[in-house]
Amino acid sequence: MSSTILVAGTASHVGKSTVAAGLCRLLADRGASVAPFKAQNMSNNARAVPAPHANEPWGEIGVSQYVQARAAGVQPTTDHNPVLLKPSGDGASQLVVDGRAVGTYEAGSYYDEHWETARTAAERAHERLAAEHDVVVAEGAGSIAEINLHDRDLANVETARFADASVVLVADIERGGVFASLVGTLELVPDDVRERVVGAVVTKFRGDATILEPGLREFEDRTGVPVLGVVPHDDPGLPEEDSVALPAVGERRVVGRDGHDDPVRIGVVRLPRASNVTDVEPLAGEPGVRVVYVPPSAALGEFDAVVLPGTKNTVDDLRACREAGLGDALAAFDGPVVGLCGGYQLLGERIENASVEGRGESVGTGADDGVPGFGLLPVVTRFDHEKAVRQATYELDGVGPLGGATGTVSGYEIHMGETRAVGPLETPFAADGEASAAVGAVAGTVCGTYLHGLFGNSVARRGLLAAAADGDRVAATAADRESHASSYDRAAALLGEAVDVDALLAAAGQRVNF
C-alpha cells in the first residue's frame, strides 16, 4: 500500500526542498520505491524531462522535483510536477500543465478559468505515482496556512486531501518566532488538514540544542504534535528553486569557495526577470572561482569573464539592460562573454516578433524591424508560439570563450524563438554532424547557446575557465562530476542524523519494512 508524505511549510524558503530531497534519498537507500511530487510549483528554474502523458515527448518541471527524482533514483518525468507556473512579470505567469505551456495568465484568470483543469492534472499525476511506488514524498509551496487560498491551495491543502497525505510541518528557526509560526500554522489550517499533521521539523538551527529543548517539549504539550527532529544549519548544495536566493535587482552577491588568494572572477548579470540561474552554480563550485552576481548597471572591468543567464521575458529585460548601460559595458569588456538561452538572444543583432509576456504586446513583426539587441553576435532571433522543450546532447568543438574544449556535452533546451545567423560566425555545437546558430554561435570572445546545463559538463566549464585566466589561477578537479549528485547524499545525511525517520514512517502508516 502506497503512502504519501506531504512536506509542508510555515512559510517560503524554510527548507522544504532540502527535507523532501533528503527524505527521498534516505528512503531510496533503504530499498523503498519512492517518488517526489509537487502538485503546483512556481519557479523559473525548470528542467526538460520526459512527458509520458502529453502529446510531446518532452516537458518542463521545476528544478526541485528534478533533483528530488534523481535523489530517489527514478527517471524525472512531468508527473513529478504536473503544474508549473513560470512568472513573466507584471503579475502574470506562464501556465505549464503536464509539461506543456498552455498560455500566460494573470492570477485571477488562472484561478477563475484554469485552476480546476490544473487540479485534475495534479490528482491524476499523483494517482499514477502512487500506483507505481511505495512512498510519494510531496512538497508543499510557501505556507500551508494562507487562509485566503485554502479553497484553491493546490500544492498544500488540495494535495493533502486528494493524496490522503500525512503532513510534516517544516519551520525555519533562523527567521525567529519558530514556535509562534508552528502554533499559528496549526491554528489556521483547515480542521481536516490539521488532523493529518503527524509531526514537525525545525530547520536551520545553530547553537546549543539543550537550550531549545524546553520549547520543543512545551510545543508538543500544547499541540499534541511531536517534533520529529531539529536540523542544523547547513547547505547541502542543492540548486535553488527560485529567485528568493538571488540578490535583489540592483544588488551584488559573491558566491564560491574560500581559500584562494587570486580567484577567477565570473560576473553574472542579475537580469530583472532571470530564469534558470542554476546554470552558473557549477562554476561557483569550482576551486579557485568566485561567481559575482551584479546588476545590469555594474562596471565589468573587475571580471575575468561575464555570463548572461536566461530570462523569462527577453524583450523587457533587454530594454531594462540597455537603459542601465549594459550594452556599452559588454562592448567595452575584453574578456570572454557567454549568453545562455535568453542571454544568447540578448547578445544578437535584434529580436523579431517578440511577445511581451503577460501583456500580449507584439513588437518587431516584420523582417526588417524588431528590438535591437546588443549586437555582439551576428544573429537574429524570431519568436513564434511554439516552445522548444527537449533534452539535448551535442559535440562541442570549442572556440572563443570555450576555446580548446572538445567533447560531448549534454543538457536541455527550454525556449521560444529560433535564432539564425546573419553574418560570419562559428558554430561550436553539432548534433549528427550538423551545427547551426539555432543551437549556439561564437564570434571572437563572445559565445551564445540555448543549451542549459552547459557548465554542468566539466569540459565546457574548464574551457571557459581556461579562456578566462591562466591555468595557475584555477585549481583543477580530478574528474567529471554528475551535477548535484553529492548534494543528494549531503541532504540525506543532514536529515538522517537529525530526524527520526522511523517515527515519521510509522506516523504516516507506512507498513512496508525498509
Residue 260 annotated as catalytic: no
* Distances from the Cα of 470 to the Cα of 94, 260, 263, 299, 411, angstroms: 43, 15, 11, 23, 27
DSSP secondary structure, 398-434, as one string: --GGGTT-EEEEEEEEEEEEEEEESS--B--EEETTE
Cβ-contact 78, 53 below 8 angstroms: yes
Q: What would you report as the CA-atom Rg of the chain, rounded to the nearest whole angstrom?
A: 23
Q: Cα(169)–Cα(160) distance, rounded to whole angstroms?
A: 12
DSSP secondary structure, 182-202, as one string: HHHHHHHS-HHHHTTEEEEEE
Q: Cα(126)–Cα(123) distance, rounded to whole angstroms?
A: 5
Active-site residue (options: 80, 415, 452, 484)? 452
Task: Tell me which DSSP letter residue 452 carries.
Answer: B
Residue 114 annotated as catalytic: no
Task: Tell me which DSSP letter residue 356 carries.
Answer: E
Q: Cα(212)–Cα(171) distance, rounded to whole angstroms?
A: 14
Q: Cα(296)–Cα(324) distance, rounded to whole angstroms?
A: 6
Give just the sign of the alpha carbon dihedral 319, 320, 323, 327: negative
Q: Give the type of residue at 428.
A: P
Ramachandran category for residue 99: left, alpha or beta (phi over 0 → left; psi -120 to 50 → alpha) = left
Q: Helices 16-29 and 485-498 sit at what angle, rounded to 10 degrees?
A: 90
Active-site residue (options: 24, 321, 341, 447)? 341
What is the signed CA dihedral for 396, 397, 403, 407, rounded to 10 degrees?
A: 50
Q: How far is CA 278 from the centre of its chain?
A: 6
Range 414-442 burial, b when 16+ CB lie within 10 A, else e? bbbbbbebeeebbbbbeeeeebebbbbbb
* Distances from the Cα of 128 to the Cα of 13, 136, 317, 506, 508, angstroms: 28, 11, 39, 24, 20
Task: Tell me which DSSP letter residue 499 carries.
Answer: B
* Distances from the Cα of 228 to the Cα of 71, 171, 498, 501, angstroms: 22, 12, 8, 8
DSSP secondary structure, 25-75, as one string: HHHHHTT--EEEE-SEEE-S-EEEEE-TTSSSSEEEEEHHHHHHHHHHTS-
Return the active site residues.
341, 452
